[in-house]
């Protein structure tokens, strides 16, 4: 059993993927080929925004957004404490100060109440300018934008949506990557929509920001490639990756989002009534289920449980074992954090199970049975 079965996906979509790659090779335009422009157009239409700017990876996408806004030294950028390192790394990379904020215990996403408390505390201290918030759609679930957006407007803070894990999710009729002033995603292979290497994209309705993003992504170019009007970076989605994404896109939209939600329902049914918390999907929300993550009781020896499941051929992962505020890279006063007790508990209790559109009902049944069996035994309890 694979944690995320990319091989099964390739076999299902092989004809289109192979043709797309072959077309790029025959055309010989490996950088900025026509497939890149076609992908940007289709992604913008799917998300429902005016502009899509592709780039080298999801981390660059976040950094480029901050660069377009001119975020830098003296600015505070609020980041969930429970997330992947890149969400805070990019803040430090542009010279700003990450301020780590606790998350909701059931959705894993940024807690709006804690966000406003953090903004007010930063303003009272007076040393930093609250400039932006990175809102992560963790594990596929969109964040609570109805509560977060008014806070951003109240304090004039820009909203950067990190949809790296959430692409394909939605709230009502609005899709992930349409909620931010600028939104970003990642096409890392294991993401809901993944390529065969690194890749990312940035979404916005603002014409000026889109123009800046395209400039920053290609060495700060002006009217042409060798007219460099600002310091940028080299971050372009290569044409082969665009071809792979185009070959996957229709199936992703028409089949795979429904498929992962069916897998989640199987998990919900087979794991219900047990001694752990299942993922909560609020009414009106659709998750793209980058991960299916449960919360174990605090007396469970998670490492022991993982080893027992591994011995039965069932892979699991821990996203994430360490809060952002405890990362060594943010030591020595380079970040700010407040009470993040929910994150600290989650880091010791979360466990992600095999997930994806090609997981079968039989796979889920096997995972559930082995999980039940292990947790009934005392060997994995502290």
What are the tens digits of pLDDT across the range 255-287?
999 999 999 999 999 998 777 899 999 999 999
What tokens were used for 37?
A: 């422009």
Closest listed residue to residue 200, CA positions, set 2, 27, 36, 381: 36
Q: Is the peptide bond before 320 cis (omega within 30 degrees of 0)?
A: yes
Below-50 pLDDT ranges, the chain: none
**Strand duo 174-175 + 182-186: pairing:** unpaired
The confidence score (pLDDT) of residue 378 equals: 65
CA atoms of 304 and 382, how far apart (whole Å): 10
Domains of the chain by residue range:
6-101+108-248, 256-376
Q: 46, 175 in Cβ contact below 8 A?
A: yes
Specify the CATH number for 6-101+108-248; select among 3.40.50.300, 3.40.640.10, 3.30.365.10, 3.10.580.10: 3.40.640.10
Cα 377 to Cα 267: distance, rounded to the nearest angstrom: 21
Q: What is the CATH number of domain 256-376?
A: 3.90.1150.10
Whether the CB-CB separation of 88 and 335 falls below 8 Å is answered with yes
Entry pTM: 0.97
């Amino acid at each position: 059993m694979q944690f995320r079965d990319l091989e099964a996906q390739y076999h299902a979509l092989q004809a289109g993927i192979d043709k797309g790659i072959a077309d790029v090779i025959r055309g010989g335009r490996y950088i900025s080929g026509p497939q890149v422009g076609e992908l940007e157009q289709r992604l913008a239409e799917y998300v429902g925004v005016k502009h899509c700017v592709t780039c080298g990876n999801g981390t660059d996408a976040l950094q480029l957004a901050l660069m377009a806004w001119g975020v830098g030294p003296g600015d505070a950028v609020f980041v969930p404490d429970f997330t992947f390192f890149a969400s805070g790394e990019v803040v430090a990379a542009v010279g700003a100060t990450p301020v780590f904020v606790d998350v909701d215990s059931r959705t894993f996403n940024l807690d709006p109440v804690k966000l406003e408390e953090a903004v007010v505390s930063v303003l009272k201290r007076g040393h930093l300018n609250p400039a932006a918030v990175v809102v992560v759609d963790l594990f596929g679930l969109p964040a609570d934008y109805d509560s977060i957006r008014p806070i951003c407007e109240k304090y004039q803070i820009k909203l950067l949506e990190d949809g790296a894990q959430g692409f394909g999710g939605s709230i009502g009729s609005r899709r992930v990557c349409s909620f931010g002033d600028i939104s970003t995603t990642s096409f890392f292979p294991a993401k809901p929509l993944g390529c065969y290497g690194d890749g990312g994209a940035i979404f916005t309705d603002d014409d000026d920001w889109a123009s800046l993003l395209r400039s920053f992504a290609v060495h700060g170019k002006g009217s042409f490639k060798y007219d460099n009007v600002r310091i940028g970076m080299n971050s372009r989605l290569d044409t082969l990756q665009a071809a792979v994404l185009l070959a996957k896109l229709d199936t992703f939209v028409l089949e795979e989002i429904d498929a992962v939600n069916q897998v989640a329902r199987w998990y919900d049914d087979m794991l219900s009534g047990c001694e752990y918390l299942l993922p909560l999907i609020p009414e009106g929300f659709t998750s793209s289920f980058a991960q299916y993550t449960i919360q174990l009781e605090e007396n469970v020896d998670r490492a022991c449980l993982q080893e027992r499941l591994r011995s039965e051929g069932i892979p699991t992962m821990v996203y994430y074992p360490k809060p952002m505020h405890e990362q060594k890279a943010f030591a020595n006063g380079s970040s700010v954090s407040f009470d993040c007790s929910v994150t600290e508990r989650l880091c010791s209790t979360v466990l992600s199970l095999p997930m994806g559109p090609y997981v079968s009902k039989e796979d889920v049944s096997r995972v559930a049975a082995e999980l039940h069996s292990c947790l009934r035994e005392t060997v994995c309890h502290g």
